[in-house]
């Protein structure tokens, strides 16, 4: 019984850590330039 409580606790902590890592990766400064580049490239006029 005690082992199942610890396994649920470890599983919950692992999910929180994975979710936090995804959030930190997505909002990192390195990725901001590549994410913003697509937006500005879409707005450029290609009427050459």
The model's pLDDT over 1-48, given as tens digits with 9 standing for 90+, comes to 677 889 999 999 999 999 999 999 888 877 777 777 877 888 876 665
Q: Which residue has the tokens 């902590």?
A: 13
Residue 6 lies in a domain: no
For residue 20, the model assigns a pLDDT of 97
Say what the pLDDT of residue 1 is.
Answer: 63
Sign of torsion over alpha carbons 7, 12, 13, 15: positive
Which pTM was predicted?
0.59
Range of the domain at 45: 19-48
**14 is a domain residue:** no
Residues 6+ apart with CB under 8 A from 31: 25
In three-state secondary structure terms, 45 is: coil
1, part of any domain: no
- Which pLDDT does position 36 carry in this prediction? 79
Position 43 scores a pLDDT of 80
pLDDT of residue 48: 54
The answer as to whether 4 is a domain residue is no
Number of structural domains in the chain: 1
């Amino acid at each position: 019984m005690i082992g199942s409580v610890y396994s649920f606790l470890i599983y919950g902590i692992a999910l929180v850590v994975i979710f936090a890592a995804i959030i930190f990766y997505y909002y990192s400064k390195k990725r901001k330039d590549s994410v913003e580049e697509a937006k500005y490239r879409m707005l450029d006029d290609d009427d050459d």
